[in-house]
Structure 1
């Protein structure tokens, strides 16, 4: 299972390639950063033991790899949280990718070492790089990951088994973007600095 160190060794080259392809006019040069967190994972360890938790994480990583391409990155970011990077993917397909990922986890139970089948869901957050298409240098990839992580927790607080995407808002200013996106996500949305795209389950509950 690849980890954070692996991504740090490769992401700068991916970013450079992304920016080169965008400069050449490629329509599919974006990077989509997707944070994925298993819902109520602590209950797996508490109720079924750590071997069961390990088995679920291994299967989780395999499901993520099946959704993404070999050229993409799927890394364990920490605990039960994974970071996936879809490379050379149009941002217009981000929501569909997040939904396919949600279904790949929720629709099929996980097999435990004792033979039980355990249904699990995940909360997902995503954001794209470059975040501002007209100003690709306004925000770094780490800031994009931070926004995806905030979106993930918005999905959790909205009921779980859902995804939330972060998009630039009407009042996001390239010169002040770093400061603007560092504030609380809800505050940034209220200020029209950021916008949110939400899965159908969240929209239906609103």
Structure 2
């Protein structure tokens, strides 16, 4: 199997305080980079490329993520990919979780669109927070499983998508190439807010990771209420 690890965020050698600070600093760095990007940059780290993520019904080009689409990965294949990213059974980042969640809540609340860290979001961050999963394809990409705020008006776009889905959403990660936002809803489904539109990744963590690695992706509008 292809190696899916690149620069995993290894915090095992750090104290609890240092681990918490490192993960929060990563979220802050991403947000600050997005804020400071000039409008002239066509590929900033997320700020401008998601502005149309929840735009209306005209047909969109699917994101150039996994070509060609492959069959869903088995549970064993997904777990092997996660192990390569630094995951292990029973992984729990424990005391780091509240600060990571609070970082996102504060950013979104400041925009006037607060988000709630419901149980499904807490459980995902507790087990997978800080991992970095490399995605095969061209151009190279990776997903950071770190809650984040990535560009101005993130809150508005997430709120709009949540309203369309009829479910609460919480950001739990991002794609490094174009800043696409990984979201989980209160039922445990995963969505990707890409600049070409929002997509359903799967009904659970394993389906979402399989989809991120190999596709296929489904238009999120198929889930709108």
- Name the structure with the higher helix share: 1
TM-score, length basis structure 2: 0.28
Say which structure, 1 or 2, has more relative contact order (CA 8 Å, 6+ apart).
2
TM-score, length basis structure 1: 0.30
Return the index of the structure with the highest Cα Rg.
1
